Amino acid sequence: MDTQARIERWWDEDAATYDGAPGHVAVSPAERAAWAAALGRHLPPGGSVLDVGAGTGFLSLAAARLGYRVSALDLSARMLDRLRASAAREGVEVALYQGAGDQPPEGPFDAVISRHLLWTLPDPGRALAAWRAAAPVGRLALFESMWGRADRAETVRQRLRHSVDRLRRVPRAHHSDYDPEVLAQLPYGDGIGPGALVELVEAGGWGPARLERLRDVEWARLLARPPLDRVLGVTPTFVVSAG
């Protein structure tokens, strides 16, 4: 089985429990509103949006609520099944496409968005170039966070937060870890920092990139944490945009 097929199977298996992890959904009305504000700042008014690596629909549903025409692309059919169910429940429309991240549906799109995807792509540079071709005069907004080995100091805080979560029996983020053989095929399988992401975006033909830390999202997440846990903070979240 090749790397892409193994990744697809992993996410199919993860779909059933994915939305049960706090970091994968907006856990409060405040966080939901903070994400809506972030999308509003980084997307053009109205128009069509392609969400790559859409998963169960975190960004797709948020954009659809704001009135955008959303197309969602994901490798996992089971993730898309959950997105379809959520869209029907909320009464919003999202066009669904199953496929690899570097093979977007035919555009043109006014914007391309993605959240926590590039780390799991074997060739993120090729994907960014393909997205540019699908949105030749559109905008790009990549929503990421500092995890893995992207920052040493944050790695320490992250371990402490995970220890507290285990004591509180907070559900794990995923059903299992990636196979080491798969991770070895991923250039950013241990996390990607803002600097590397900016370089990738600009090399992908999107022009000068912009970086913003999403402190409003972090604050909303922090407010949802138990009081004694707030001293450890939350994972820093940021967006790299261009176009």
The pLDDT score that the predictor gives to residue 160 is 67
- pLDDT over threshold 70, residue 162: no
pTM: 0.92
- pLDDT over threshold 70, residue 161: no
Domains of the chain (ranges; CATH) run: 3-242 (3.40.50.150)
The pLDDT score that the predictor gives to residue 210 is 98
Per-residue tokens: 8: 């697809």
165 pLDDT band, cuts 50/70/90, is low
The pLDDT score that the predictor gives to residue 147 is 81
Mean pLDDT of 202-231: 92
186 pLDDT band, cuts 50/70/90, is very high
Q: How many CB atoms sit inside 10 A of residue 221's CB? A: 22
The pLDDT score that the predictor gives to residue 153 is 65
Higher pLDDT pick, 162 / 235 = 235
Q: Could you tell me if residue 216 is left (phi over 0), alpha (psi between -120 and 50 degrees) or otherwise beta?
A: alpha
Q: Sheet containing 139-145: which strands, arranged edge to edge?
A: 94-98, 69-74, 48-52, 111-115, 139-145, 237-242, 210-213
Among 20-29, 124-133, 214-223, the range scoring the smallest mean pLDDT is 20-29
pLDDT in tens, 13-29: 999 999 988 788 898 99
The pLDDT score that the predictor gives to residue 22 is 76
Residues 226 and 230: their CA atoms lie apart, in Å, by: 7
Judge contact between 113 and 43, C-beta under 8 A.
yes
Among 69-78, 213-222, 230-239, the range scoring the smallest mean pLDDT is 230-239
Mean pLDDT of 104-127: 96
- pLDDT over threshold 90, residue 163: no
Judge contact between 106 and 179, C-beta under 8 A.
no
- Shortest CA distance to 239 belongs to which of 49, 50, 85, 39? 39
- pLDDT over threshold 90, residue 117: yes
Question: What angle (nearest 5°) sits at the alpha carbon of residue 178, between those of residues 19 and 202?
Answer: 85
Q: What is the mean pLDDT of the chain?
A: 91
**Which residue(s) pair with 241 in the sheet?**
141, 210
The pLDDT score that the predictor gives to residue 20 is 86
- pLDDT over threshold 80, residue 2: yes
The pLDDT score that the predictor gives to residue 116 is 96
